[in-house]
A = this chain, B = another copy of it.
Amino acid sequence: MVARAFGASSFILADAKDNEVKDAVQKISVSWGGKFDFVMELPWKQVVQEWRRKGRLVAHLTAYGENIETSDVMTRIKAAGKDLLVIVGSQKVPRAFFSPEVSDYNVAVGNQPHSEISALAVFMDRLYDGRELGSEFDDAKLRIVPQKHGKGVAKS
């Protein structure tokens, strides 16, 4: 849901299967609009290899990487201007994720421990310079009508 809300076009749950999550994400997309693919069960190596073979780039989010605020890593990623696969690990990730054979960039959304999901949100917010949070989703059945105080939802 974070990937979708922050402007990703698809999500790959690698090396795992979770129909509950898939259903939940698809339900959200039907109600709140937009096109968002959810893929699962592919081995991560295959995903990365196919992605890289097309000349696209990979960014691995990890607290051990180059600091998103104090290094120039974000500038380099934006300057490259290519489609980006963002890898977010759960628990301990394979050592290979850090290697140049897998990740073009290891990006730290701060070098303090916090949460993978927050790292993804902040990374994408900065990648798109915040524009994604103002975008409309096509074919939405439900749409929030922002209010200073209260809750408003429009149906269409």
Contacts and interface: CB of A to CB of B under 8 A. Distances in A.
Interface residues on A, range: 35 or more
Query: How many identical subunits does the complex contain?
Result: 2
Nearest to A71: B146
B5 A113 contact: yes
B117 A64 contact: no
Given A1-B113, A68-B133, A70-B134, A149 B118 contact: no
Interface in A122-156: 122, 125-126, 130-134, 137, 143-144, 146-153
Given A121-B121, A130-B69, A151 B1 contact: no
B133 A109 contact: yes
Contacts of A133: 67-70, 109-110, 122
Contacts of A153: 64
Interface stretch (A12-20, A46-54, A96-104): A96-104
**Those 8 A-B pairs whose CB atoms lie nearest each other, nearest first:** A118-B121, A5-B114, A110-B133, A69-B133, A5-B112, A69-B134, A111-B144, A70-B134
Interface of A: 1-2, 4-6, 28, 32, 63-71, 98-100, 103, 105-106, 108-115, 117-122, 125-126, 130-134, 137, 143-144, 146-153
